[in-house]
Structure 1
């Protein structure tokens, strides 16, 4: 994420340096993508809300938090809905071999650890605007991934994927509105 922040010009190098401490892991290969987990948004926005000083900032952050909570609901039901869609057309749910499942479980554990580390950095070192900028940047990347996935989803699954994409877009819009509003409040 820090590379994304610097490339987009959304963050100062010092801000990216503080986030880089949470990313002491090997760099991904150029074609490797990992979707940004939605479980990160609500806790991070709650941290930003706790640090917020003005009523107008809190209002913007609460709107973003509402969108994050709505995304969490869509995300939580996603796998079950895809499996139900597959069952309705006579397919079995996707099952991974033990080796692949162990690898996926390892990625999930790594993601949880990174999330904990990021949240502690957000709590200790970042102001509300920096937190929202980081979330927005990560979500932009994630949305690119899911826009591509929606194009190639099975026709029966496409509405489910599109609902997820729409929830992510609503959150991104709320985050971007918050970034603009928080910037105005800072001047």
Structure 2
């Protein structure tokens, strides 16, 4: 049975923390691949300075391009609307019934699992895989397989703020993502 990790998010923009999470889980669980899954509209995040769906997808393609173990999963973009993991995983399981999916989440998401849409049904569809994140409890009553990994205190919000203030982004973004952002004039770089 194929073993596939799913790392969902807004990826607004994708940063090295995302790559580290995906890579750590890929190796720790001996997965066949990890798919980065940009959402259409996140149920818990709405930002004024969002990059377009096309920009976010392109940045994820650039970020993951050099790594054979990383793929793109665009199902939520194709479905459109608010992205609920439960609906997405139902569709993926229907499309790929012989795949065991591992849904990768950080400590902040672990702490809020009890609030996820249809969580009781969702935990029957996927194995959650968690990585601790500074500032979070990384604790839940639900079954989450924890993976030891470097705790990277980095967020897309932090990256967007760096663009606005003109501070260094060196070592924070995957190769090619910063130049794409500047070329497209995203996050106040116009």
TM-score category of the 2 structures, normalised to the smaller one: under 0.3
Higher helix share goes to which structure?
Answer: 1
Higher strand share goes to which structure?
Answer: 2
**What TM-score, normalized to structure 1?**
0.25
